[in-house]
């Protein structure tokens, strides 16, 4: 089937109007691992697509039979057109599934994760480890049968929702054969980010409003110098203070 889909892909890919650009991590992040869903996940997706089209195929078959029985002269041509249309839909769905697998990338950086996916609707999501609330590995019965797992990241949402429990963004990474090892890798980098202060490195231009760290240190040293000068003046002139009191 893979060879057949490779032959059909040039017919359908122009319809998707895709920009095949390799995903990149944001500036300041270094690539640690580049991941893709396993081929077992692709086979699972093929079966899911065919199962989802099962009712449609049955309906097309019923329409073909009714056309043959009800239209003596045009029954067979109409039935053949229905069957051909259904084959085109199935082929297009399988090609889209294949292209989605080829374009699905999980880039694990030292500071963030970027997920690139989608054939019909392209999406690129970047998640900073500083915003990750939870990492969970799950494996259902069918996933266990095909031999892959799903890694789910829950991050704090930027928008306020009606329920506090819904104020989470969920990023799913399905099709991973070594999801547990990836989870441990991300936990280590998440801990490193927390130990580093959960922020971007301080550069010449401060990333937060207010003074930079260098300016803050200069102000603190100046304040200490003024305090020391005031203390020395008060200790050096006790007589002047007494004369002022006598007057």
- What local confidence, expressed as pLDDT, does residue 7 receive? 67
Q: Assess whether pLDDT exceeds 70 at residue 146.
A: yes
* Overall average pLDDT of the 216-235 stretch: 63
Q: How confident is the model at residue 237 (pLDDT cuts 50, 70, 90)?
A: low
* Overall average pLDDT of the 12-23 stretch: 69
Q: Assess whether pLDDT exceeds 70 at residue 131.
A: yes
Q: Assess whether pLDDT exceeds 70 at residue 242.
A: no
> Does the pTM of the predicted model rise above 0.85?
no
Q: Assess whether pLDDT exceeds 60 at residue 226.
A: yes
- What local confidence, expressed as pLDDT, does residue 203 receive? 42
Across all residues in the chain, what is the average pLDDT? 77
Cα Rg for the chain, rounded, in angstroms?
32
Q: Assess whether pLDDT exceeds 60 at residue 105.
A: yes
Q: Assess whether pLDDT exceeds 50 at residue 198.
A: no
Q: Assess whether pLDDT exceeds 50 at residue 201.
A: no
C-alpha torsion sign, points 106, 107, 109, 112: negative
pLDDT, greater one: 105 or 119? 105
| Phi, psi of 54, deg, nearest 5 | -60, -45
Percent of the chain with pLDDT over 90: 35
| Token pair in block for residue 229 | 């000068």
Q: Which has the minimum average pLDDT: 11-15, 99-103, 136-140?
A: 11-15
CA distance 135 to 163: 21
Residue 180 vs residues 24, 107, 156, 177, 246: alpha-carbon distances, Å: 24, 16, 22, 8, 82
- For the stretch 75-90, pLDDT in tens is 888 999 999 999 999 9
Which CATH architecture fits 34-195?
Roll (2.30)
C-alpha torsion sign, points 120, 121, 122, 123: negative
């Amino acid at each position: 089937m893979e060879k057949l889909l490779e032959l059909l892909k040039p017919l359908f890919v122009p319809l998707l109007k895709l920009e095949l650009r390799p995903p990149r991590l944001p500036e300041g992040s270094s690539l640690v691992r580049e991941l893709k869903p396993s081929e077992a996940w692709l086979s699972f997706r093929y079966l899911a697509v065919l199962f989802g089209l099962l009712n449609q195929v049955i309906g097309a078959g019923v329409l073909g039979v009714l056309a043959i029985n009800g239209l003596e002269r045009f029954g067979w041509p109409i039935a053949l057109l229905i069957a051909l249309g259904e084959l085109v839909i199935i082929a297009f769905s399988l090609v889209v599934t294949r292209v989605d697998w080829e374009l699905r990338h999980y880039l694990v950086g030292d500071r963030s994760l970027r997920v690139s996916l989608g054939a019909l609707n392209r999406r690129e999501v970047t998640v900073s480890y500083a915003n990750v609330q939870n990492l969970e590995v799950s494996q259902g019965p069918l996933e266990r049968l095909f031999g892959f797992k799903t890694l789910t990241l829950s991050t704090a949402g930027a928008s306020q929702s009606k329920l506090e429990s819904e104020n989470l963004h969920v990023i799913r990474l399905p099709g991973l054969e070594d999801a547990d090892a990836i989870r441990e890798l991300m936990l280590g980098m998440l801990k490193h980010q927390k130990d580093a202060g959960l922020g971007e490195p301080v550069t010449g231009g401060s990333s937060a409003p207010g003074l930079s760290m260098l300016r803050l240190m200069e102000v603190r040293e100046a304040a200490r110098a003024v305090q020391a000068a005031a203390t020395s003046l008060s200790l050096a002139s006790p007589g002047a203070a007494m004369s002022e009191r006598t007057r």
